[in-house]
Amino acid sequence: MLKKSRLMAIAVLCLAALIVLAGCGGGKQAPDNKARQLSGNVTAVGSTAIQPLAEQAATQFMAKNPGVKVVVQGGGSGVGLTQVAQGAADIGNSDIFAEEKSGIDAAQLVDHQVAVVGMAAVINPAIKIDNLTRQQLVDIFTGKITNWSGVGGADQKIVLVNRPKASGTRATFKKYALGGAEEANGIEEDSSGTVRKIIKETPGAIGYLALSYLDNSVKAVSLDGVAPTKDNIVTGKYPVWAYMHCYTKEKPSGAVDAFLNYMMSDDVQKNIVPQLGYIPGTDMKIVRDASGNIKNK
Amino acid sequence: MNLLYKALNLSGSEKLGRILTTGAAAIAIISTITIVFFISSKGLSTFLVNGVSVKDFLFSTHWLPDRLPEEGGPQVGVLVFIFGSLTVSLLAVLLSAPLSVACAVFIAEIAPNWGQRVLQPAIEILAGIPSVVYGYIGLSVLVPFIRNNIGGLGFSVLAGFLVLSVMILPTIVSISTDTLRALPGEWKEAAYALGATRWQAIRMVLLPAARSGIMTGIVLGLARAFGEALAVQMVIGNTRKIPGSILDPVITLTSAITMDMGNTPMGSLWNNSLWSMGLLLLIMSFFFIVMIRFIALKGGAAR
C-alpha cells in the first residue's frame, strides 16, 4: 500500500512538472530598454552557414553584456526568413537575399550583411585538373560531359555531388558559376561536411563547397584561370560568392541593434570572421544587389 | 515523498487515480488528433491552395519546385521518392524477415536457455542503437566496401536496404519470439506424439500457428523501414532519379523531406509539397496499422 501511494505521488509530481515545463515554452520576454545596462533576449535563427559565426559572436557579446541573452539556432535559410518575417525570431540568418526566396515578403525585412563567403568547385584530390573554364563547368554539372577525359583529365567517370535544391550554397553556385543552368541529377547531401567527405573518398567526384569548409582533403579548382581566393573575391575577379545576411523585421532597436552592431565591429570582423574562413564585409571593394548587379564601392 | 503525499491529502483517493489515468489518455489522444490535423492541413494545401492535382503529385517524376512559371514550372511530382521508399523498405523486409523468423525459432524452440540468455539481449542491443549510428557505420564501412568490392559509387539501394534490414531485425525477432512462446505447449507435444521430428514440428505446426503474430512483426518492420529517415539518407546517395540497378543511388520520401525542409519558407508550394509527402507517410502508416489489425483479427478467428 505504501509503495502504491509513493508511486502515485511520483506520478502526480511528474504530471505537474510536465505542465509547468509546457508552460515555459510559450513566454518570450520582450527586450527591456528602460534599464541603462543593456538587457533583453535576442534570438537568431536560420542558415547553418552563418551559425558558427553568430554563435562565436554571441558568446563574446554576452560576456561583455551580461544582461543580454543571445540564442543562435540553425534550421536553414528558409526557416530563418520565415521566422523573422512572422516575428517569431529577432534575427533571421540567410545566405541568400530574401528577394530570391519565393514566399517571403522582402519589403518588410531589413538586410544586414555581416560577411561574405566564397564558394568553389571542389574535386577529389586524385584528379589531375586545377582549372576549368566556365563552359566546362557548366557541361560537367548539366551532365553533358560525363568523363574526366572530356576536360583533359584521365579516363574516369565524373560523379556529381550536389547540395539539395533549396540550399543557399547550391543556389549561389548555380547562379554565379553555372549561369543559371539546371544541374543534372547526382548524389545529394544536405550538409557541407558530408559533401566534403564524399568528394574526398569517391574517385572522380566533383561538387562545390563554401571556402570555409575547404581543407587539404579536397581540391578547389580555379574558374577560367582565376583561383577562389580572398583577393580575387574582394576585387570581383572571382564571381562565386554570397553575402551572409542577418535580416530583421523593421529597424532593429535595443539589444538586437547592439548585437548587430557588435557583429560589424572589429572584434568580430577582424578576428572571428577570417578565422572561420569568411571574408569581412568591410573588406569588399565591390557591392552586389539582389539581382546580381555589381558596383564598385 | 510520503509527507508530501499526506500534505496534499491525497491518500486513498479513488478520484485521483481516475483523473491521472484519464488525463494521460486524453493527452495521448489529443496529441494524435492535433498532429494528424496539422499535417493534413499543411499537406492538403498543396492541392487546395496551390492547385496541384493529386494525380500529378503522385504519378509525375518531375520534381522542379524551383523552376519559374515561364519555364514550365514549378512541378512537384514525387513518384521517384515513393518508388525509392518502396524499393528500399520492401527489399529490407525481404532480407530481414526470413532471417528474423529463423532467429525467433532459434530463441524460442531450438535453444531456449542459451537463446534467451545471449541472443535475445544481443538483439535488444541492436534495437537500442540510434539510427544515426547505423547511418554513420553504413557511410564509413558499408559504402566504401560496396564501392571497392562490388562496384558503383557505394551510395546505393543495396547499402540502404542492408542498413535497414539490420535495423528492423529486432522488431520482427521480438514479436515472432513472443508469439512462438505464447503457443500452447500441448501442440508441440501432440506433434511429437504423432512421430514428428523437432524440425517437422516447428515447420508444420508451430510456424503456421504463429503465422499471424509473425506477419504482424513483419508489417511493423516494414512500417519502421518505410519511416526511417536518417540512417537511410546517409547511405543511399539521394539522387532524384529512378534507379536502374541496386548499385545506383536512390532517394526516399523521408530523405527528400529532410533535405529541403530547412531551406524552404513556410507556406510556399515547395514547403507545402514536403508536408504532402509527410501526409503520404502518415497515410501509409495508417494503412500498415489497419493491416496489422486485420491480420490479428484473422489470426484470432482461425484458432
Task: For residues A229 and A126, state if they share a domain.
Answer: yes
CA A165 to the chain's CA centroid: 14
Q: Which tens digit of pLDDT belongs to each residue from A8-35?
A: 565 555 555 555 455 444 334 444 444 4
Q: Which residues, in sequence order, are CB contacts of B49 under 8 Å at separation 6+?
A: B272
Rounded to two decimals, the pTM is 0.80
The ranges assigned to domains in chain B are 2-75, 79-271+280-302
Whether A85 is in a domain gets the answer: yes
In DSSP notation, B144-192 reads HHHHHHT-S-S-SHHHHHHHHHHHHHHHHHHHHHHHHHHS-HHHHHHHH
Q: Which residues of A touch B254 (CB under 8 A)?
A: none
DSSP state for residue B141 in the 8-state scheme: I
Whether A150 is in a domain gets the answer: yes
Whether A23 is in a domain gets the answer: no
Whether A33 is in a domain gets the answer: no
Task: For residues A204 and A223, state if they share a domain.
Answer: yes
Task: For residues A108 and A252, state if they share a domain.
Answer: yes
Distance (Å, rounded) from C-alpha A119 to C-alpha A232? 12
Closest Cα in chain A to B233: A189
Is the minimum CB–CB distance between A79 and chain B shorter than 8 Å? Answer: yes
Q: Which tens digit of pLDDT belongs to each residue from A84-121?
A: 988 888 999 988 888 887 777 788 889 988 999 899 99
Distance (Å, rounded) from C-alpha B6 to C-alpha B229? 48
Task: For residues A200 and A275, state if they share a domain.
Answer: no
| Superfamily in which the B79-271+280-302 domain is placed by CATH | MetI-like (1.10.3720.10)
Torsion, Cα of A194, A195, A199, A200 (10° steps) = -40
Q: Which residues of B touch A101 (CB under 8 A)?
A: 265, 268
Complex ipTM over 0.95: no
A54-58, A182-186, B178-182: range with lowest mean pLDDT: A182-186
Whether A7 is in a domain gets the answer: no
Show the domain range for A193: 118-234
DSSP state for residue B237 in the 8-state scheme: B
Task: For residues A63 and A167, state if they share a domain.
Answer: no
pLDDT of residue B180: 92
Domain CATH number, residue A292: 3.40.190.10
Q: Do B16 and A81 touch (CB under 8 A)?
A: no
Distance (Å, rounded) from C-alpha B81 to C-alpha B58? 10
pLDDT of residue A154: 87
Q: Which tens digit of pLDDT belongs to each residue from A242-285?
A: 999 999 988 888 889 999 999 888 888 888 898 888 999 888 88
Q: Do B238 and A187 touch (CB under 8 A)?
A: yes
Q: Which of A186, A213, A234 represents a domain boundary (last residue)?
A: A234
Whether A93 is in a domain gets the answer: yes
Distance (Å, rounded) from C-alpha B256 to C-alpha B73? 19
Task: For residues A76 and A129, state if they share a domain.
Answer: no
Q: Which of A209, A234, A259 represents a domain boundary (last residue)?
A: A234
CB nearest to A103's CB, from B233, B261, B265:
B265
Closest Cα in chain A to B274: A166
Closest Cα in chain A to B232: A189
CA B27 to the chain's CA centroid: 24
Average pLDDT in the B105-130 region?
88
Q: Which residues of A touch B4 (CB under 8 A)?
A: 9
Is the minimum CB–CB distance between A186 and chain B shorter than 8 Å? Answer: yes
Residue A139: count of CB within 10 angstroms of its CB: 19
Q: Which tens digit of pLDDT belongs to each residue from A205-238?
A: 999 998 888 888 999 999 999 999 888 998 888 9
Q: Which residues, in sequence order, are CB contacts of A80 under 8 Å at separation 6+?
A: A45, A46, A47, A89, A91, A92, A93, A94, A247
User: What total number of domains does chain A contain?
Assistant: 2
CB nearest to B240's CB, from A79, A103, A185:
A185
